Amino acid sequence: MKIRLPLLRDSHTHISFYAALGAAADLSACRTEAGALARLKKEPGPLVLARGWNSAYYDLRGGGFDRLGPAVVCNVSQHSFRFNAAARAALKSEFPDIVANIDDPAWVENNLNRVFGLFTSAGGARDIPAYMERLAALGVWAADDMLVPDDRAALLLGRRYAGRAALWTEPDIYEKLGPAARAAIGGLKFFADGALGSRSAALRRPYRGGGRGLLLHSDEELGKLFKLAARLTGRAAVHAIGDAALEQVLRALERLAIPGRDLRVRVEHAQLSTPEQARRARRLGLALCMQPNFSGDSACYADRLPPALLRRNNPFRMLIDKAGFVPGESLLFGSDGMPHGAAPALQAALFPPWPGQRLTPDEFRAGYCLPDLAAGWLDARVDGAKRKVFVKVGGPAAAGGRK
């Protein structure tokens, strides 16, 4: 089967952060610690930044890692980090609290934007245009930056990429922005829990091997964040991966009863939603922003999730067919950059591990694509027998959007 689709609007990624991270070493192909160390060793100093470390395959601690020059490694989930001994020594004076607390998962979850700042301050907004070109060449024309770090990034994205970039940031960053940058920000983003990659997504039943993850706020604090978003931007995006985090979000919003005209809420990820939670989310008028590429968590996190949760992950059929979510309206799709691009998005949507995770091409188009072909298009060849999708980007975007 061949289909032509418009380019993607990736409703959840991190433009500024990934732009800065673009220069970082990519460990996502590494499956062993030795492989990752060999990759890191090739990088020029003085400080090596790396991304794509997957804790399902290996960890980076002590020994060989500490014998390298200064190296800072970001987990594929972006919710945990490894600093080696030389990096700690090099960064201690400029970022003392990050160095002191980087191994404390609760501190990291509550201070993610400061750790990201370590990456973004290295490159700054300078790397954003090249990153937008790279996204376009991968078939992504428009995107939401879920964590705009500063004025420079907000102004560049707001002006040069008006119509292509939707901007979100966290409350404490928003407070520091000037008026022009604030005007470019569409909504406030905050976290209810952590991530599966760092075993910090908040679950109602324990992980295999123990622990239930982390709820980052009390009910009262979460309520205050929603009220703040209603007052400042009228839009909130709340990250809730685990079913316990989604439960807390629903509880907070049911109690607050903020009128729909004052606050529009998007729940980011909502991967482990139960049918009952989905119905309540619908009743509250929430939109869900979900990642078809996270359907693969059902295969790759079998080491940490009980079988019932592996099966419940990314339940698109339940959400659309039973709870009544509508792609493009109350159900939006994005990648979170894991990985970027139209090919992995379409592959994950059409051929996920579980049938309940499957999206139709029409649902994909409604929830993930631009309305028309003006900026370019995706020519997809779908091989049902091999369960493979091949995507070619056409039109202006194929050259990165340069005219």
Nearer to Zn ion among residue 79 and residue 312 (C-beta): 79
Q: CB of residue 336 vs Zn ion: minimum separation in angstroms?
A: 4
Q: CB of residue 5 vs Zn ion: minimum separation in angstroms?
A: 24
Nearer to Zn ion among residue 146 and residue 215 (C-beta): 146
Strand 140-145 vs strand 165-169: parallel, antiparallel, or unpaired? Answer: parallel
Nearer to Zn ion among residue 240 and residue 378 (C-beta): 240
* Residue type at 137 in one-letter notation: A
Nearer to Zn ion among residue 86 and residue 146 (C-beta): 146
Residue 10 contacts Zn ion per CB under 5 A:
no
Q: CB of residue 195 vs Zn ion: minimum separation in angstroms?
A: 9
Q: CB of residue 245 vs Zn ion: minimum separation in angstroms?
A: 14
Q: CB of residue 168 vs Zn ion: minimum separation in angstroms?
A: 10
Q: Which listed range, 86-94, 146-154, 175-183, 259-267, lies at the site for Zn ion (CB under 5 A)?
A: 146-154
Nearer to Zn ion among residue 193 and residue 336 (C-beta): 336
Distance CA 302, CA 308 (A): 10
Residue 393: φ, ψ to 5°? -90, 130
Closest CA to 347 of 270, 295, 395: 295
Cβ neighbours, 10 Å, residue 387: 11
Closest CA to 52 of 67, 40, 66, 42: 40
Can you tell me which residue has the tokens 């509550």?
110
Size of the site for Zn ion (CB under 5 A): 2
Q: Which listed range, 17-25, 29-37, 301-309, 330-338, lies at the site for Zn ion (CB under 5 A)?
A: 330-338
Q: CB of residue 41 vs Zn ion: minimum separation in angstroms?
A: 30
Residues 6+ away with beta carbon under 8 Å from 109: 79, 191, 193, 194, 198, 200, 214, 216
Residue 170 contacts Zn ion per CB under 5 A:
no
Q: Which listed range, 50-58, 80-88, 139-147, 342-350, lies at the site for Zn ion (CB under 5 A)?
A: 139-147
Residue 243 contacts Zn ion per CB under 5 A:
no
Residue 336 contacts Zn ion per CB under 5 A:
yes
Q: CB of residue 269 vs Zn ion: minimum separation in angstroms?
A: 8
Distance CA 284, CA 21 (A): 36
Nearer to Zn ion among residue 127 and residue 336 (C-beta): 336
Strand 331-333 vs strand 287-290: parallel, antiparallel, or unpaired? Answer: parallel
Nearer to Zn ion among residue 65 and residue 294 (C-beta): 294
Binding track over 284-323 against Zn ion, x by CB under 5 A:
----------------------------------------
Residue nearest to Zn ion (CB): 336
Q: What residues numbered 33-62 form the site for Zn ion, per CB under 5 A?
A: none
Distance CA 221, CA 301 (A): 30
Nearer to Zn ion among residue 146 and residue 250 (C-beta): 146
Task: Return contacts of 259-262, CB within 8 angstroms, 24+ apart.
Answer: 260/285, 262/230, 262/234
Nearer to Zn ion among residue 65 and residue 131 (C-beta): 131
* Residues of the shown chain interacting with Zn ion in the complex, contacts defined by CB under 5 A: 146, 336
